[in-house]
Structure 1
Amino acid sequence: MVAPAWIGFALFVVTMPAHLLLEQADSLALAAVTLALIGGAYIGFGAADGRRSVFWSELAVALVFGAAAVAGLLWHWVALPLGLALHALWDLAHHNAVRLARVPHWYIPFCVVFDLMAAAFLVLLCTR
């Protein structure tokens, strides 16, 4: 599963420079949209899984990531990298999980690498 991790890193390298071109408020808005979208990916995995309880669980957790995105905009920027780091943990929770949505094995390392790199980048960007 090395290739998906490298693809996650490549996606990070390609997308994060946009934050350097934006004003901080716009950069945080982009990060919030990103967090909400990647949190929402699991809604699709939950729907594809076919188990109603899994779908509702994934939807509930996606709403938590959406709330973290809003909190990053309205409360404090730190909610955004925290949400990304927590999303990486959520990705890892799906590795060989029985009661969570079935996720393609390639997606987990891909997303963990992107989430953690993006979280660290946002911390560095907002504390400089």
Structure 2
Amino acid sequence: MPTTAAATPSGFTHRQLRAPLIWGVVFGVLQAASPLAFFWLDPATVYALGLTLIAAVYVGFAVADGRRHVLVVETVVASVFVVAAACAELGSAWLIVAGLAGHGCKDLWQHRTGFVAGTRWWPPFCVTVDWVAAALIAVTLTAQLLPT
């Protein structure tokens, strides 16, 4: 069986993952560049807002899923990312990198387990967005282009 036909644990084939991963890279780059669109705001503020919006998407998926325990878990997880974003706004921008990387890990877990029903293409897309943005922001911070 060719590599493109191999199934992943979530039931996707590698070929079906191609589009979410490509679009994830595109949106990850846009996420990293998002402070340019909101030039009047501090970049840490823009990234903090983005992290909270990204985390909140799963609350919507949990509502659509309809199971109470899924809604509780996803709300708690989203709350952790909101707190991380708030701390990053007041402290180090590296917390945004950690938050995005951590959210990517959460997305990977979601992709592997299917904890929230009906999200087939979203976790691979979102893990790619999160990790690409985290990597680009880390490079920017390392290059001292953003305040740490």
TM-score normalised over the length of structure 2: 0.77
Deviations 1:27-65 (A, max 9, x none): 111110010000011101111111111101100000001
Tell whether the 8 Å contact from 1:94 to 1:103 is kept in structure 2 after alignment: no
More helix by share: 1
Query: In the alignment, does 2:119 pair up with 1:113?
Result: no
CA distance in 2, matches of 1:67, 1:103: 27
CA distance in 2, matches of 1:22, 1:33: 11
Q: Percent identity?
A: 35
Q: Please name the residue that 2:6 is paired with.
A: none
Tell whether the 8 Å contact from 2:29 to 2:136 is kept in structure 1 after alignment: no
CA distance in 1, matches of 2:92, 2:53: 19
Q: Please name the residue that 1:11 is paired with.
A: 27
CA distance in 2, matches of 1:32, 1:80: 7
Secondary structure at 2:113's aligned position in 1?
coil
1:15, distance to aligned residue in structure 2 (A):
4.2
Return 5+ residue gaps in structure 2 as ranges. 1-16, 144-148
CA distance in 2, matches of 1:22, 1:50: 36
CA distance in 1, matches of 2:112, 2:37: 39
Q: Please name the residue that 2:116 is paired with.
A: 101
1:2/1:84 Cα in 2 relative to 1: closer, same or farther (>3 Å)?
same
CA distance in 2, matches of 1:55, 1:47: 6
Return 5+ residue gaps in structure 1 as ranges. none
Q: Could you say what the CA RMSD is over the residues aligned between the two structures, in angstroms?
A: 1.9
Tell whether the 8 Å contact from 2:104 to 2:127 is kept in structure 1 after alignment: yes
- The higher radius of gyration belongs to 2
Q: Please name the residue that 1:51 is paired with.
A: 67
Structure 1 moving runs of 4+ over 4 Å: 20-23
1:105/1:29 Cα in 2 relative to 1: closer, same or farther (>3 Å)?
same
107, 120, 123: which one pairs with 1:91? 107
1:16/1:95 Cα in 2 relative to 1: closer, same or farther (>3 Å)?
closer
Query: In the alignment, does 2:61 pair up with 1:42?
Result: no
**Larger mean Cα displacement after TM superposition, 13-22 or 1-10:** 13-22
